[in-house]
Chains A and B, each alone.
Chain A
Amino acid sequence: MSLKRLLLAGMATLLLSTLALPAAASSAASSKPTIIIGSTNFEEQAIVSNLYGDVLQKAGYSVKVEPALGTRQVVVPALEKGQLDLEPDYAGTLLDYLNGGTVVAAGNNITTAVPALKAKLAKSGVTVLNPAPAVDTNVFAVTKATADKYHLTTLSSLKSDASKLTLGGPPECPQNAGCEKGLESVYGLKFASFKSLDEAGPLSVAALKNGEVQVVELFSSDGTVVSNNFVALTDNKHLEPADHIIPVIRTSANSAGVAEALDALSAKLTTDQISKLNLLVTGPQKESPAAVAQTWLKQEGLA
């Protein structure tokens, strides 16, 4: 009996101590307040949140970079509720998200998207800083052979032949205004069929290569279009939102020093640069997002 009681008591103390741990860790004192940075579960987000963390640390702030936190449905509410201070996001898509997932015209241009975001976020005590030139948006890619065969350069040029082609993309693509739904309403494209793959991941690349699909959704900043010699079709009617990488921050954490450090970083972050960093993580080098961020900041004289 006493052994059992001992076991139970041990288990209870373990339980209490582990419950108390996270609270104790986050209350570490420091002269400037700790800035908690969150990101979604996606390698580019891990890189950018490390970039944010490193430049802020250099500016003298104590920083906590949370590991990948699932989806935007976790990260944005956490920011609005004050459980996070800062997250990297994509201007146009974030604006659509804040409007319940419906497309907002202001999101198609970065100059209108930023004030619209500020207005939308103000009531939860959140704002955005300057966007980076880097854009990560959906692109629709075809193989070089398909492009030559049907003379494809822009999405409009797909119009006459789309009915012979299969489109590949993530499961939500058929209902997504930035994917099949938008391709139909904005460009009048009706594909022969749709094949559910992944979010611009290895399946999408493989399915395009082996001909299971002829058109596939990829991302403008992940480097796969270039590294596989695919042709990205120009979005000549601006179907895709202006998805510039943008810091989203709680106003309480947004001091002049923080804004200055992040603005200096964003100014140097171009689509080419982030594509290269992404390829270092997903390509054969397999460097960690944190290491990639650190090396690049040193090269750019930011850390």
Chain B
Amino acid sequence: MLASEPFFRWSYVAGNWHQIGSDLVQHIELTLIAIGIGLLVSLPLSLVAWRFRLFRPPVFGIASALYIIPSLALFAILGPITGYVASYTTAEFALVGYTLLILIWNTVAGLNAVPDDARQAARALGYSPGAALVKVDFPLALPYVFAGLRVATSTVIGLVTVTALIGLGGLGQLITYGFNAQYYTPIIVGLVLSVVLAAIADLLLVLIERLTLPWARSERQDRGAS
């Protein structure tokens, strides 16, 4: 039965492009929300963790814990409170949890990398430590933040599929359907679209970075950082 199943059937794509499209849109939605909330949560936490050493262990500890808790367990805990059925809230808890460690780690590394000269110049210009953090240190750390953002975005695009367990999943729906129907084509469509989506998102982020941080360009090329 399986031996005769072709590796890819174009007829599936032709007959189901509507479904594939809506799964793709959901995939993008889930990713954007996760990255958006991830940034909103991680940036202030990173600034606090960097400025006050005391907060580093709890911030990194919680972010690390969220990184390794299996999503399945998280869904079981959150389901009764935030909803099981196609609940974006439940899904985003799991996805945002994954972005935090990556984003915080990179932001703090970026703040650490700010040259002392720049910091002293800010001081000499009369900036208070708080103002210097926001107006001098943070902009200089942005190339690292972008590096973290790129890794986090790719990772989340791959992880969105696990939310298929609560009826979302974006392209993950194609993967579970393919598994149940023993059908290669939808799985391959889901896999390829995930990678293409990640490549496009990565390109966009590089573009945004170049437009917003022209000064970081030469530096990045020197370092070859990603």
Contacts and interface: CB of A to CB of B under 8 A. Distances in A.
Q: Do chains A and B touch in the complex (CB under 8 A)?
A: yes
Interface of A: 3-4, 7, 11-12, 14-15, 18-19, 21-22, 36, 38, 41-43, 46, 66-71, 73-75, 77-78, 81, 83-84, 201-202, 227, 281-284, 286, 288
A281 B181 contact: yes
> Helix, strand, loop or mixed for chain B's interface?
helix
B167 A70 contact: yes
Closest 3 CB pairs of A and B: A70-B165, A78-B84, A69-B167
Interface of A is mostly: helix
8 contacts: A4-B212, A7-B208, A22-B86, A46-B177, A46-B180, A68-B167, A69-B84, A78-B79
Contacts of B85: 36, 38, 66, 69, 74, 78, 83-84
B218 interface: no
B79 A74 contact: yes
A14 B36 contact: yes
A73 B75 CA distance: 10
B29 interface: yes
Given A67-B173, A70-B165, A286-B9, 11 more contacts: A14-B36, A41-B164, A69-B86, A70-B75, A74-B75, A74-B167, A81-B80, A281-B180, A281-B181, A282-B180, A288-B16
A42 B180 contact: yes
Given A67-B173, A286-B12, A202 B212 contact: no
A69 B39 CA distance: 29
Contacts of A286: 5, 9, 12, 181, 183, 185
Interface string B172-190: 0100110011110100000
B166 A69 contact: yes
Interface residues of B, number: 38
Contact of B167 (A67, A77, A281, A284): A67
A41 B168 CA distance: 12
B166 A70 contact: yes
A42 B176 CA distance: 9
A41 B180 contact: yes
Contacts of B12: 286
B69 to A, nearest CB: 17
A279 to B, nearest CB: 9
A12 B88 contact: no
B33 interface: yes
B124 interface: no
A283 B1 contact: yes
Interface in B73-109: 75-76, 79-80, 83-86, 88
A146 B217 CA distance: 70
Nearest to A224: B1
Contacts of A41: 164-165, 176, 180
Contacts of A77: 79-80, 84
Contacts of B88: 18-19, 22
A284 B4 contact: yes
B201 to A, nearest CB: 13
Contact of A12 (B36, B176, B180): B36
Nearest to A290: B19
B209 to A, nearest CB: 11
A294 B141 CA distance: 57
Contact of B83 (A3, A42, A83): A83
Nearest to B208: A7
B14 interface: no
A66 B86 contact: yes
A246 B164 CA distance: 24
Contacts of A46: 177, 180
A36 B85 CA distance: 10
B5 A284 contact: yes
A120 B16 CA distance: 41
A289 to B, nearest CB: 8
Which of B169, B176, B181 neighbours the largest number of chain A CB atoms within 10 Å of its CB? B181
Contact of A74 (B166, B169, B180, B211): B166
Nearest to A80: B80
